[in-house]
Structure 1
Amino acid sequence: MMIRYGLGLLLLSAPAVGQVGAVQAQGEEPAKQQKGPLVLGAYAQGSFIIAHTPAIRHLAVSHPTGFELNLQRQTNGSEPWHAWYRYPKLGVALVYYDYHNPVLGRSYAATTYINKSFLRRPRHELNFRVGTGLAYFTNPFSLESNHKNTIVSSKLNATLQLRLEYDVAVAEHLGMLVGLGLNHYSNGATTKPNFGINLPTVFLGFNYHQQRPFVPAVRPANDTPADLGRNFLNISTSFGLKQRSPIDREKYLVQSVSVLGGRRVGRKSNLLVGLEGFYDRSLLQEQRDTARTTDNLPDVKKAGVLVGHELLFGRLAVVTHFGFYLYNPYKSNNFYYERIGLKYHATDRLFGAVDLKVHRGSADVIEWKVGVKL
């Protein structure tokens, strides 16, 4: 499969750059505490389903249509990373799709996202949006009642959004938005079949801007991270659940442990290298189903080495890993694996993450991870 892994409007707008000093001198709250202006949007969307595998060609015949409501808050420089990314917007969205196919039904999704500007002028802007969240499907796969739905096998799925958006002012606070995007839905092999849905999408709608044009707060004179150039150690463990096949409905536990060394090499980036081990209990059952005898079966545990990158947004990071198995007696997959995920530091030491581990573009397991940074 292809991965191919909310509301008040009466808030104070950020003051103009030339006014910040005067406003703060008059006793207003400093830029550190001010909230950025809001953007409220409503979009219609039209799509088609990519037949990325022959097993879903019978379903890639309709043209899904949908609707989205979203709320974005403009970052204003209250944190150093806002300026590093040219003051992106942070948003939440509710997305509805009707697939115009009784096998697929409808979906309802809630996502969070970041919207980064490549071009921003007083009357128009060009943005790139990436987001993730959860989606509910009304008609998932069922051996008894809906066996033709080979795309979606569970009611609850993860979603990934990629978009290019152009917003042009049609009134003082109103902008018209057009865009192209890709929506991906999958459960990460938690339940099978899991080919997933990929929806190239065209958007048309309107945005209400609380403040336009947006003027950021003053950027700090020194925004160099305190830990730039420092080394660190991450120790973590994870668990996940996966299903082997549509017939075997049992969910098998998958666990991992990792020890990674890292270094902050820039304002936006950490580089990582380290070792990790895996124990996938579904492989034990796979062995029993395929082996002539259960004597002297190879070990299903695996160990690997990885290199990785973290793209930093304050306490949040987008994680990408590429690893190779060094210990892999039971050859159930390729010798390498990939991972993409989201990591969040609850404190300077404690973090959690949700990752999708992949073998050659095919989802293996969703990993729920906790760890410490030393």
Structure 2
Amino acid sequence: MKGFTQSDIDISQKNEVPTKSYFPFGIKATFHHGAISSHRAEVNEIIEGHTQAYELSFYKTTMGNKKWQQSYNYPKTGFSALAMNLGNKKELGMGFGIFPFIELPINQRKINWRFKIGYGLGYIEKPFDRKTNYKNVAIGSNFNALIYANLLWEIKLAKALNTSMGLSLIHFSNGSFERPNLGINIFSLNTGVTYSFGEKKVHVNNKIEERPHKWSKKITIGIGLKEIPPADGKKYVVSTCSFNFMKTRAEKSSFGFGTDLFYNSSLSDLNTRDSASTSNSFDNIRVGIAGMYSFDFGKVSVSVAMGGYLFSNYKGNGLIYNRLETRYSVSDKLFLRFAMKTHIAVADFLECGVGYNF
């Protein structure tokens, strides 16, 4: 009788079909208990009790039908809704939020380590009001951008039931669209219960063909509105134009550098206010160079950038700037974008716009 050769074993292993299957959908309830961070002395005026947040999430487990899903080890994507007791009924009231998210697996063991991140729309019940709520110098608008990050550990309890514990950060800011805008940062410990459902499916596990590691050129434009102190002032127009060189790294990410041109119509007023010099036609213009790193999820990319001003008559917020940006590809050439520009932890403005690859 002819025995098995090593090549027979290798062929058998290659043709072996994975047997482990996964629920495609799930719903999760999470409770957060924490506190508002006193990142600025003025924020202490509104910090009283601890915060409690109730989060309900619906998610879909990616099965690897797209290359980026396999590259990121089959993450979960979905939507979450938040209701928060901010610990100060008089000056803050309740906080609410709704946002899309992606939950990335860091390992695949009995205790799964995962990272959930998302951002969307936030609502603060009682923002600053010069007459009725002057102590709330942290936030000046009802509607705000919400940024959510949660580092969590998940344990399987039963076939379709998991529990988790984690450490989360929830951030509210309107990007200086309306003053005041020191922002609200909430750090919390959290615990949650997940119920998974649907017909189980097996992950697609094909060989991933890497994207060509080549440089591409992108040009973007954007527009936004902002206020400067004091509160209840006028809105200033901000516009941007950027030219970037980007290089892909496999299916997961890209990196690059570029130049930025900013027109910020508030800078001439700030320059006149903060110095004895008179304004001129170049006060509202800033030119900078920046390096960036992009996490690519198919048509959606999230990038972080840090840059420095080569030219800026206004020196009030330093020479370093940052950008957090989301891009959505409409086609191979055209994409939509939404970004927040900051100076380290101080928001400068929000912008939306379009970009073109060539």
Judging changes above 3 Å, is the alpha-carbon distance between structure 1 residues 295 and 109 closer, same or farther for their aligned structure 2 residues? closer
Structure 1 unpaired stretches of 5+: 1-15, 21-34
Structure 2 equivalent of residue 64 of structure 1? 51
Task: State how far apart, in whole Å, the 2-side matches of 1:224 and 1:297 are.
Answer: 48
* Residue identity in the other structure for 2:167: L
Q: Shift of the alpha carbon at 1:124?
A: 4.7
* Residue identity in the other structure for 2:59: Q
User: Does the 8 A contact of 1:36 with 1:75 survive in 2?
Assistant: no
Structure 2 unpaired stretches of 5+: 1-15
* Residue identity in the other structure for 2:166: G
1:35-87 Cα distance to aligned partner (Å, 9 max, x none): 97001011222111111111011222211112111001000010011111111
User: Does the 8 A contact of 1:80 with 1:219 survive in 2?
Assistant: no
Q: Shift of the alpha carbon at 1:254?
A: 0.6
* Residue identity in the other structure for 1:99: L
Task: State how far apart, in whole Å, the 1-side matches of 2:86 and 2:19 are.
Answer: 51
SS across alignment from 1:83:
helix
Q: How does 1:352-363 map to 2 (within 5 A)?
A: 352-363=336-347
Q: 1:219 aligns with which of 205, 209, 214?
A: 205
Q: Shift of the alpha carbon at 1:169?
A: 2.6
Task: State how far apart, in whole Å, the 2-side matches of 1:17 and 1:150 are.
Answer: 59
Task: State how far apart, in whole Å, the 2-side matches of 1:230 and 1:290 are.
Answer: 46
Task: State how far apart, in whole Å, the 1-side matches of 2:55 and 2:280 are.
Answer: 56
Task: State how far apart, in whole Å, the 1-side matches of 2:35 and 2:194 are.
Answer: 25
1:115-146 Cα distance to aligned partner (Å, 9 max, x none): 1112334x653211111111111101111211
User: Does the 8 A contact of 1:309 with 1:319 survive in 2?
Assistant: yes
1:347-370 Cα distance to aligned partner (Å, 9 max, x none): 111111111111132111112121
Tell me, yes or no, if structure 1 residue 115 matches structure 2 residue 99.
no
Task: State how far apart, in whole Å, the 1-side matches of 2:133 and 2:316 are.
Answer: 30
Q: Shift of the alpha carbon at 1:231?
A: 2.0
Judging changes above 3 Å, is the alpha-carbon distance between structure 1 residues 298 and 173 closer, same or farther for their aligned structure 2 residues? closer
User: Does the 8 A contact of 2:178 with 2:231 survive in 1?
Assistant: no
Q: Shift of the alpha carbon at 1:310?
A: 1.1
Q: Shift of the alpha carbon at 1:277?
A: 0.8
Tell me, yes or no, if structure 1 residue 373 matches structure 2 residue 357.
yes
Task: State how far apart, in whole Å, the 2-side matches of 1:254 and 1:263 are.
Answer: 29
User: Does the 8 A contact of 1:239 with 1:254 survive in 2?
Assistant: yes
* Residue identity in the other structure for 1:338: N
Q: Shift of the alpha carbon at 1:290?
A: 5.0
TM-score normalised per structure 1: 0.85
Judging changes above 3 Å, is the alpha-carbon distance between structure 1 residues 278 and 366 closer, same or farther for their aligned structure 2 residues? same
Judging changes above 3 Å, is the alpha-carbon distance between structure 1 residues 169 and 254 closer, same or farther for their aligned structure 2 residues? same
Judging changes above 3 Å, is the alpha-carbon distance between structure 1 residues 295 and 318 closer, same or farther for their aligned structure 2 residues? closer
Q: Shift of the alpha carbon at 1:295?
A: 6.7
Q: 2:69 aligns with which of 54, 73, 82?
A: 82
Task: State how far apart, in whole Å, the 2-side matches of 1:327 and 1:119 are.
Answer: 45
Q: Shift of the alpha carbon at 1:19?
A: 6.9
User: Does the 8 A contact of 1:302 with 1:327 survive in 2?
Assistant: yes
More strand by share: 2
Task: State how far apart, in whole Å, the 1-side matches of 2:208 and 2:289 are.
Answer: 37
* Residue identity in the other structure for 1:40: I
Structure 1 equivalent of residue 5 of structure 2? none
